[in-house]
Structures are given as C-alpha cells and as structure tokens.
Amino acid sequence: MQISIFGAGYVGLVTGVCFSEMGNEVLCVDVDAKKVALMNEGQSPIFEPGLEEMMNSNIKGRRLSFSTDLAEAVRRSDLLFIAVGTPSDVDGSADLKYVLQVTETIAREMNGPKCVVIKSTVPVGTNKKVRDLITEILAERGVNHHFDVVSNPEFLREGAAIEESMKPARVIVGASSERAAELMGRLYEPFLKKGQPMLVMDPTSAEMTKYAANSMLASRISIMNEFSRICEKVGADIEWVRRGLGSDPRIGPHFIYPGIGYGGSCFPKDVQALIRTGVENDERLEIMEAVVRTNQRQRENFVDKVRRQLGGLSGKRLAVWGVAFKPFTDDIREAPALDVIRAFLAEGATVQAYDPAATEPAKAFFGQVPGLTFSEDQYSVLEDVDALCVITEWKSFREPNFERMKKSMKQHLIFDGRNIYNPKAMREMHIKYFAIGRPQ
C-alpha cells in the first residue's frame, strides 16, 4: 500500500517506520524542514530503542521517505494518516488546530477516493469534525470525491514502541463503512499473525476507548500511590500489598507499582482531556479529578519527605538520578523529576542531576538555572551530596556500586521514588533508605 503520514513526531514516525517494515511504501511529512532533513539522512529525532536501525533499513529499501510537501503527500497516497500533536489547551482540553489544519490540506488537495485515518489522540467527536470539514471544503471546490474517516488510536509505550507496533495486543478501528474496515484489515493483517484482535467499532467508541484506557491505567497508578501513603502511616509494606493484589486474577499485576507518580505525553494529557469532555457534557468525572490530585500530591510528598529528613532544603546538596518520565526514553514531558528539581531549587538546595538519555532535553527545559548542574556520569553527581534521590528506574541504577557511592556522598541517605532497592540490603550496608510505602 501507499501510505502518507502527516506528522513525524513520536507516533507518526514509529507508525511510518513499522508500516514500511511490512513492505508498504510510506511517506512521512512534517512542517519542520530541519527534522525532515535529519530523518532523510537516517537520523531519528527521538530516542526509541531499535527505531533508528529499522528506519535506516527501510530508507535504504526505498520503502520510507520524508518530505515537507503536504500537498504531494495527499495526492500520491490513498491511505492518509493524521498523526500530528494535540497539546493540552489552557482548560485541559486537547487542542485540535494541527489536526484541522492537516484536514483542510487533505480536503483541498484531494484528487480521488481517500481513506483518512486519525492516529492522533483526539477528543470524542473529532472524527465527525474532520468528516464535516472535508465535506464542506469538497463542496466549495465543486468536487465529489469519495472518502472515509477512520479513528485508529495508538496504544504505544515509549521505550517499547517498536515491539508493540510490530506485535500489538489489539488494534482498535472506528469505521463507518465496510470499505474502510476492510482496508484497515488488509493493512494490519501482517501485524496480527498470532491471533490478536482487530476490534471494529463506531468512531465515537474508538475515540472513547483511547481516553478510557489511559485513564484506567493512570487510575491504577494513583490508587496504589494512595495505598502507599497509608502503608507508611500504619507500618505496612506496600510491596507485600502489591503482590497480594497482583495475585488476584480480577486485579492482575500490571500498573500497580507505587512510586512518585506518572508523567509523559499521554496519561496527564488524556486524563485532563477526558475530565474536560465530562465538563462539556455536564458530567463531572470526580474519580478522574482525584487521580490528577493524587498524582500531584505524590510528588509533593516526596519533596516533603526529603525536606523533613534533612531538616530543611536550604543549603543542601542533592543528587538526582533520572529526569525522563520513564526509562528507555528521552521524553521529559510532565516528568515527576521536573517538579521535584524545581521544588528543591526553590527552597535553596543545589541539584546535581544525571539521566542516561534525557540530559539534553532537561538542559533545554531548565536553561541556565543557578544551583542546577547535569553530569554525564551517574557517580560524579554523588560527590559530597547530602542525599541521592532516585526518580527514574533506569537499569543502570538498579545494581550500582554502593561502596563507591558511599565514599562520594557526605551522608549515606537515599530517597527512592521508584522502590528499586531492598530495604534490608540498604540497612545491612548502613545506608539510610526511604522508599514509597515501605518500612524505613
């Protein structure tokens, strides 16, 4: 198939690369000329394991190319994917301006039957908005090209996006015609060889499924974080509670790990957008509002724990391991570390931070802030610090050289925001250890 993908960001690029890997001819278009030039040279603008290698393989095979020519992308392909960003507006709703800009371009350049696929995460009702806009512009042009608008939300996890694109657990398709459903079935058939389902439903339900899925996962994280706080109060161990819950088949073991809270480009934005959808439809989503409050409170509690144990933050020297919102990505959007570092600096502490992948995005985010430095080595940030704060659970943090660490640190004090260490082992090494919901 010939496929054009509008937006070569995280979703668009990964989607395009994986479609080309299955033999499709894919053109990814983006308005950022520098990024397009970089990708045409075989360099990925994002950090994602395995992406750049697969991208180069398909560029060499002439199945994947990049361009800034949106009009040509519309004309050359029958299958048009919209994968542009939908950033949160000031009221928490998703901003559709980029989606609608691409839609207008598609409608004005449409030269025959097309299937328009919305891959971006969009509010419920966007499929209809896109359909209505195309219909309006085609009428203005005086042409009557047949077209379909399909909702095909993505469910990728950063850090595992290639694997999950090539072997999806399920594919959600919101289609209003058999023709569109059959076309999507042919496209995804090579990805579903192990019997994973492709669920075809109405577009509105497909849009809702995306928001509901991410909101459900965010809710599981927040409720575990609430459990962790009460565990600290009563002297229970959240690790044993987690195992007890996970062994119940009605609950399962996934997304019940307590920590410093969720971040990233999906959960925070999608939960807020769902809350806004409720407001617009006179239906207050009180559980979702509590999920957001709990997530923010978890970060504040972490800072408070550090403050109390150190007797204040002013003049303290702190090391931070991990700035990305999760391991295996350089994405710092809504990352807990950003709030934690800002709070430390605001109260007069100095911060030395390290992240295996997200140092440059973090530097760009903070700029030249007094009291904040970044290092290329996880041990050098420990020099003469009062405490280490582990924020992101990178593999290299799990089994460090603790004796080497103790020689560098002023105080042998670790605050673990991801519960990656064993409290007993910490005691035996004479390290004062504070985790989330675990015995001190």
Q: What amino acid positions are annotated as catalytic residues?
A: 266
* Calpha distance 363→156 (Å, rounded): 26
Give the whole-angstrom CA distance, residue 395 versus residue 362.
Answer: 20
* Measured distance CA(153)–CA(208) in Å, rounded: 10
- 413 has which bridge partners? 432
Nearest to residue 378, comparing CAs of 352, 403, 417? Answer: 352
Quote the CA–CA distance of 199 and 174 in Å, as a whole number: 8
Tell me the backbone φ, ψ of residue 414, rounded to 5 degrees.
Answer: -125, 130
CA distance 20 to 311: 57
Question: How far is residue 93's CA from residue 273's CA, in Å, rounded to a whole number?
Answer: 5
Distance CA 22, CA 134 (A): 30
Q: Which residue has the tokens 């080497």?
A: 404
